[in-house]
Amino acid sequence: MPSLDEFDMLIVMGGPMSANDESTFPWLGQEKEFIRKAIGAGKSILGICLGAQLIASAMGARVFPNPVKEIGWWPVQGIQPANELAFRFPPLIEVFHWHGETFELPPGAIHLAKSEGCENQAFQLGRSVIGLQFHLETTPELVQGLVSNCCDELLPSTYVQSEAEILSASPEKYQAINCLMGEVLSFLCRCNP
């Protein structure tokens, strides 16, 4: 693990395992401890999918299977918090999902976004930590790789799209989510100048 003074921002990405799989993947415990230390040091942190679940778990929240899987392009609804220091998501934006688990909000977290299939889609801790259940970093190449390598997960369900539906996303969808990712990163960069 790097020293806390070696970086300004920590981005914790996704993966196929559960945040609860410490017996199979012992490094998850070390990663959660590192996340706790980074939060305590006031570092800017972005967690994406498993990354958001690891942040939630590191801060004492429960991570558990969501009642439904969300795989594909589904809308999330921005929640406009009263806290003026919170990041503001659009009222509605279609984003890319690939998850079967969710999390409780960590103590003191601000709820930022939800969807029909998953209540806790995004949260903020303090001024400098954001967790996203969905993927704003997605590109056509990343989606093609996921579909190619994880197509066994595309079982018909309410919030699981087919391979054809997932791959038919327009360039404008990718542009919209990548722009929103830029806004999230800019927000976090302003937290730690």
Report the CATH number that the domain containing residue 108 is assigned in CATH. 3.40.50.880
Residue 84: predicted pLDDT: 85
Task: Tell me the CA end-to-end span of the chain in Å, nearest whole number.
Answer: 23
DSSP secondary-structure letter at 117? S
Express each pLDDT in 86-116 by its tens digit: 999 999 999 999 999 999 999 999 999 999 9
Residue 174 amino acid letter: Y
- DSSP notation for 17-57: S-TT-TTT-THHHHHHHHHHHHHHTT-EEEEETHHHHHHHH
Count of structural domains within the chain: 1
Give the Å distances, CA to CA, from 61 to 34, 50, 129.
Answer: 16, 14, 15
User: For residue 96, what are the domain limits?
Assistant: 4-191
Residue 1: predicted pLDDT: 75
Quote the CA–CA distance of 71 and 14 in Å, as a whole number. 14
Closest by CA position to 112, among listed 91, 85, 88:
88
Express each pLDDT in 131-157 by its tens digit: 999 999 999 999 999 999 999 999 999
Q: Under 8 Å CB-to-CB from 168, ≥6 apart: which residues? A: none
Quote the CA–CA distance of 146 and 148 in Å, as a whole number. 5
